[in-house]
Structure formats: structure tokens, C-alpha cells
Amino acid sequence: MSWDEDIEDWFRRRWRSPFFGRRSFEDFNKMFEDFFKDVEKQVPKDLVRERKLPDGSMIREFGPFVYGYSITIGPDGKPMIREFGNVKPSRKPPLFGAPRLGMEVREEREPLMDVIDEGNSIRIVAELPGVEKQDIKLDCTEKTMNISASTKEKKYYKKIELPAEIDPASAQALYNNGILEVKLKKAVSAPKGRSIKID
């Protein structure tokens, strides 16, 4: 028995109870069907595969779907939450007056990463397993850094808002065993001033 048949069987056995009427079962069934239709519409084509089973029937597989988060304490003592993966929660229009959560699925994953302020410099550590050094592209400005990597199997992308202005020419990057480490020196702000002519 498949997973969806198990769910359907569970509801069928309970729809006779005073808490579940036939209408409630039909509503739940429709809600599940609508949810999976929404998911299927949002999944990028590269995350959908069809496979032939030994009995000749075809099945459709989706994924991989990755979602996670890390929590660290920032220099100001406040918690910093960073999400990673290729799935993001999103708000959907209410159903029967209740708020609903949906999801946004992307082909590229956001890597698990950390941004560390080291005083005169900023260090970025990102996990990019499954790619080679030549697959990674780094671009930065004084205020942002983009990390992207692409292979047939893995795709990563993250735009990072830096906590301070940096000198892009100072960037040093090292990639080893799936871990990318980038060190950026903070920009030295020269005092802005001018000579004053005395009349």
C-alpha cells in the first residue's frame, strides 16, 4: 500500500466518527490533492524525473528538496538565523479564513554558510559539496558577494549582504573538501576633507 493510500485508508476508517463527517474527509482529500498539485507546478524541470518500474509502469520522482537553517550569535549578542537549501517557506492566500504556508522551490540551493566579522576583515565560510574549484564563481562589490556553482548534478547560488564595506581587490579564496573560505579586508575609509583658502 502506498503512502497516499495509507492516508486515504486512515481517513476512510474515521469519517464515520462524530468528529469526521463525509464532507470533512472530502475536504481533507481535496486539500492534499491541491497541495501536491501546487508543489508539482513550482518544481523546476531539472528536479523532476520519470523512471520505468520493472512491471513497465512509469513513476515520477521529484527532488532533491533541501531546507535547513543555522543559528549563531552575532557580535551584538543577538541571534542570527540563516536559511539554506532550495526550498523557502512562503505565504499563500487563506483557506477557510486560516493562514496557509506554501513553499517556493528553486533549482539552485543556497549553501550552508557563515559570515564572520574579524575586526579588520570579514571571513565567509560556505559548504559547497559535490562541485570542483573550477565550477565556482565568485563576484563581489564593496557591499555584496555572490557565490554560484553549477554542475550537472548540483547548483548553488547565494547573494550575501556584507556587514561592512570591503576592498574587493583584497579578496582571497580557498576551496578544499567541499568548503569554500573567502577572506575580505575591510575598506579603509580615508578622512574626507579639503584645504581651505584664506582670502
pLDDT in tens, 66-79: 777 777 776 677 88
| pLDDT at residue 132 in the model | 92
Looking at the 3D structure of the chain, how many domains does it have? Answer: 1
- Inside any domain, residue 199: no
Evaluate whether residue 31 is within a structural domain.
no
In a domain, 110, yes or no: yes
The domain in which residue 157 lies consists of 67-185
Query: Is a pLDDT exceeding 60 seen at residue 123?
Result: yes
Angle of CA points 185, 130, 115, to nearest 5°: 25
Lowest mean pLDDT among 77-91, 135-149, 151-165: 77-91
Q: Residue 174 falls within a domain, yes or no?
A: yes
Angstrom distance (rounded) from CA 136 to CA 112 = 15
Task: Burial-class residue 184 by CB neighbours within 10 Å (0-12, 13-18, 19+).
Answer: buried
Residue 24 contacts by C-beta under 8 Å, 6 or more apart in sequence?
Answer: 15
pLDDT(64) > 60: yes
Give the count of beta carbons closer than 10 Å to the beta carbon of residue 115.
Answer: 20
Enumerate the β-bridge partners of residue 70.
Answer: 82
What is the pTM for the complete model shown? 0.57
Residue 135 is assigned to a structural domain of this protein: yes
Measured CA to CA, the distance from residue 86 to residue 65 in angstroms comes to: 6
Give the CATH number, domain containing residue 79: 2.60.40.790
